[in-house]
Structure 1
Amino acid sequence: MAVPGSVWAVTIVGIVALLAFDYVFHVRKAHVPSLREAAVWSALYVGIAILFGVAVTAFGGGTMGAEYFAGYVTEKALSVDNLFVFLIIMASFKVPRADQQKVLLFGIVFSLIARTGFIFLGAALINSFAWAFYLFGLILLVTAINLVRPASRDDGGENVVVRVARRVFHTSERYDRDKLFTVENGKRVMTPMLLVMVAIGGTDILFALDSIPAIFGLTQNVYLVFTATAFSLLGLRQLYFLIDGLLDRLIYLSYGLAAILGFIGVKLVLHALHENNVPFLNDGQPVDVVEISTGLSLSVIVGVLAITVLASLTSARGKAQKAVSAARRHATDYLDGAEDPARREDTFGKLLAEQAKIRALPEKYRARIRDERELMSLLHRVHAEHGSTFAP
């Protein structure tokens, strides 16, 4: 179904207006969103995405509606997984909590621009070359395998672009609120804030290489691909602060995403065989294979995500990982808040609460935690500075 240019124009204006509203009323003034603020605005953006999907179903039919919702749910799940990397990058650069909103909004805008470019490139490939379906399917299958392979996400945000920027330009070691440049020793230098944004932008491009083939496996309607991607990114900033404490708890999310991407990869390959015109396959003729319906795709995606999230939240390993991450964060905040005694005391109380949760874990998890030398050293330092005894 062709979408009129006027509908495209209204949609783009609406998305830009939402981003501008987000910046003017939430991000421009640095602050840490409360849990209530994050929950309200996350729910609002999800509600907007759902209402848009209802409108697509009403005006475009059930198939278009199902394709949009399948794409939106898949892209939203991939966006949540991307938050893990954002969290690592901002932790490695020690971005002040109040300034993280600006970094996230930049990441969302850059990601939307990058993915829009990939969307139109992907559409051009699909329209011109049927073998593009084979290529996209292969990308997703390889990505699915990489997701379940043991590998560390923690690259410290130091991608190639960041390393080059550090060497070529003068960079400051300290933040100047949320400024990108500051004056140090009479010279204009970049602040770490700009480097963080470079790191986020670089990873956004890599994320697009996975997410765009995934949604093209669910619909080839460029308008649905664009809107599902855009609405999955809107509200991601608020979602970050809402589920910050749960991110480390979703320990099985990568396995669920691997299953989803693998499933969509197989769907793409089957579709490619059905539309085949590659000369060395079946003499360039379509292959009679079963194709996976959009309804089945949506059911599989929602089902896998539900099982993954429930398994993660009820897992003892997930609880252990969440407690360790929270303890590490509180310990770091305590040591960084030396100039504010009240803040240090409050943070120390939170740290003690997390240590109590760790002590309540089964012994096998406590033993693994005690083997984390960096964490144990960090906790010893905090207790030594506070004048208390540390009991691991």
Structure 2
Amino acid sequence: MDASPLVWTITVAGVLGLLLFDYFFHVRKAHVPSLKEAAIWSSLYVGIAILFGVGVLVAAGVHSGSEYFAGYITEKALSVDNLFVFLIIMTSFRVPREDQQKVLLFGIAFSLVARTGFIFLGAALINSFAWVFYFFGLILLITAGNMLKPESSESKSGDNVMVRIARKIFHTSPDYDGDKLFTVHNGKRALTPMLLVMVAIGGTDLLFALDSIPAIFGLTQNVYIVFTATAFSLLGLRQLYFLLDGLLDRLIYLSYGLATILAFIGVKLVLHALHENNVPIINHGEPVPVFEISTGLSLTVIVGVLVVTVLASLLSPAGRAQTAIANARRHATDYLDLGYTADHTERVRVYDALRHEEEIIRSLGGKYRKMVHEEPELMELLLSAHAEHEESVQRAAREDAGRQAGE
């Protein structure tokens, strides 16, 4: 499938148009999207990606269509994994809930630019050096192994090297000033945490590209398909974040599924490299007659692994318990942090969500309730949240009584 310059121009214009539409109609005015809003727009973006894939099937044939869908599904799954890191970064920076959309959209736009650069660089290397397939395959196998290692939240926190350098070199403000990137602090112009969190998101996006681009080149070497599958996997990621908020921690086996997929694609790349071999130290620079994994088999394995992984996570009692405990901790922290949001409706939503997670924990049985009681800091946090809520209810009642007496 060779895309003409006109097709490339229309595609790039369409992607940029969707990003601009997202900004001006959804993100420009800070607000917390409802679950309904997130579900509608997330479904719309997935629908656009599927329709585009159907168009590729019709216009370019089954092979190209299968490559697109295999690439899109893989990149989408990796994007969902990226949302875990976005969540950790925004939590560590205490980004106000109503301003998180802007941070996410910046991350998506930056990621799209960075990955486009990596795509054309990767394509140039592949066209010039066949041994690059060995290199890409090795990267994916190493990445798959690293995903199986236990990793703390601190290792993925927003306090990365770029942020530490920015804080040392530039004058920074400790508090947000709406969604502004610069403010005045102690009489001097200063960077706000909003700019620092964008720097952190941008830095992690570069690392994500090092994993995702070799993965999709392992499924197709068609630059147009690589670009479109990557772009459509990123579009709608902002809406998906708010749709999956509260369920991300539930996918406890997702890392195992993604590690399996990356390892599978890594093996496929190595086999392809052997089939096209021209490295002198391997088989005297001659191609090695090995089995090559077809695109259809790749698509079947990717979908199968993701289905098994997601179902195992959602049906697992351990997954439900881990999700409920993590969400309860997050909701209690958000409720107690009065600077987290100025939206009263959002604070009510957070407290109701906290109560919901506590009900889930109680319904899971003694084994999982014991997990909560064995964490004294979590118990103290939950008790403080309930005490704050009780005080706010009494304060509101006194204010209503005062208003009625004044009337």
Aligned-partner residue type, residue 202 of structure 1: G
Within-5 A mapping of 1:1-392: 1-154=1-154, 155-337=156-338, 347-386=350-389
The one-letter code sitting in structure 2 at the alignment partner of 1:87 is: L
Superposed displacement of residue 322, structure 1: 1.6
Task: Give the stretch that moved more between structures: 107-116 or 327-336.
Answer: 327-336
For residue 179 of structure 1, report the CA deviation from its aligned partner.
0.5
Q: 1:231 to 1:342 in 2, by over 3 A?
A: closer
Q: Which runs of 5+ in 2 are unaligned?
A: 392-407
**In the alignment, residue 219 of structure 1 is paired with which amino acid?**
T
Paired with 1:342 and 1:115, the residues of 2 have a C-alpha distance of 38
| Offset of residue 159 of structure 1 | 0.8
Partner Cα separation in structure 1 for residue 343 and residue 299 of structure 2: 50
Partner of 2:404: none
Deviation (angstroms), 1:208: 0.2
Pair 68,345 (structure 1): closer, same or farther in 2 beyond 3 Å: closer
- Offset of residue 237 of structure 1: 0.3
Counterparts of 2:345 and 2:235 in 1: how far apart (Å)?
36
Aligned in 2, Cα 1:197/1:341: closer, same or farther, shift over 3 Å? closer
Shift of 1:156: 2.3
Pairwise CA distance, 1:224: 0.4
Deviations 1:164-210 (A, max 9, x none): 11111111111111110111222111110000000000000000000
SS at match of 1:3: coil
Q: Could you state the TM-score of these two structures normalised by the residue count of structure 2?
A: 0.92
Which residue identity does 2:86 align to in structure 1? F
Pairwise CA distance, 1:289: 0.3
**Following the alignment from structure 2 to structure 1, what is the Cα–Cα distance between the partners of residues 9 and 306?**
33
SS at match of 1:183: strand
CA distance in structure 1 between the partners assigned to 2:138 and 2:59 by the alignment = 34
Residue by residue over 1:35-78, the C-alpha shift from the partner in whole angstroms, topping out at 9 and shown as x without a partner, is 11111111110011011111111111110000000000000000
Task: Give the Cα–Cα distance (whole angstroms) in 2 for the partners of residues 325 and 232 of structure 1.
Answer: 27
Q: Aligned with 2:190: secondary structure?
A: strand
Question: Which shifted more, 189-198 or 323-332?
Answer: 323-332
**Whole-angstrom CA distance in 2 between matches of 1:314 and 1:345:** 29
Cα offset for 1:330?
1.9
What's the CA shift for 1:342? 7.7
Shift of 1:116: 0.5
| Alpha-carbon displacement from aligned partner over 1:81-106 (angstroms, at most 9, x marks no partner) | 00000000001101011000000000
Provide structure 1 residue ranges, at least 5 long, that are not aligned to the other structure.
Answer: none
- Shift of residue 245, structure 1, vs aligned partner: 1.5
Deviation at 1:370, TM superposition (A): 2.5
Distance (whole Å) between structure 2 residues aligned to residue 13 and residue 344 of structure 1: 39
Shift of 1:349: 4.2
How far, CA to CA, are the matches of 2:32 and 2:46 in structure 1? 21
Give 3-state SS (helix, strand or coil) of 1:324's partner.
helix
Distance 1:350 1:56, change over 3 A: closer
Number of positions where the alignment pairs a residue of Structure 1 with one of Structure 2: 388
Cα deviation per residue 1:246-270 (whole Å; 9 max; x = unaligned)?
1111111000000100000000000
> How far, CA to CA, are the matches of 1:373 and 1:268 in structure 2?
49
Residues 308-349 of structure 1 show CA distances to partners (whole Å, capped at 9, x for unaligned) of 111111111111122112211221122123888886566444
Aligned-partner Cα distance in 2 for 1:345–1:324: 19
Distance 2:153 2:331 in 1: 21
Partner amino acid for 2:239?
Q
Q: CA separation in 1, counterparts of 2:98 and 2:343?
A: 16
Q: Is the partner of 1:248 in helix, strand or coil? A: helix
Letter in 2 for 1:64: S
RMSD (Å) for aligned C-alpha atoms: 1.7
Aligned CA distance change for structure 1 residues 346 and 290 (closer, same or farther; 3 Å):
closer
Secondary structure of 2:220's match? coil
Q: For residues 57 and 372 of structure 2, what CA distance do their matches in structure 1 show?
A: 50
Taking the aligned partners of 2:175 and 2:59, their CA distance within structure 1 comes to 53
- Given that 1:337 and 1:343 are in contact with CA atoms closer than 8 Å, whether structure 2 keeps it comes out as no
Alpha-carbon distance between aligned partners in 2 of 1:347 and 1:246, rounded to the nearest angstrom: 15
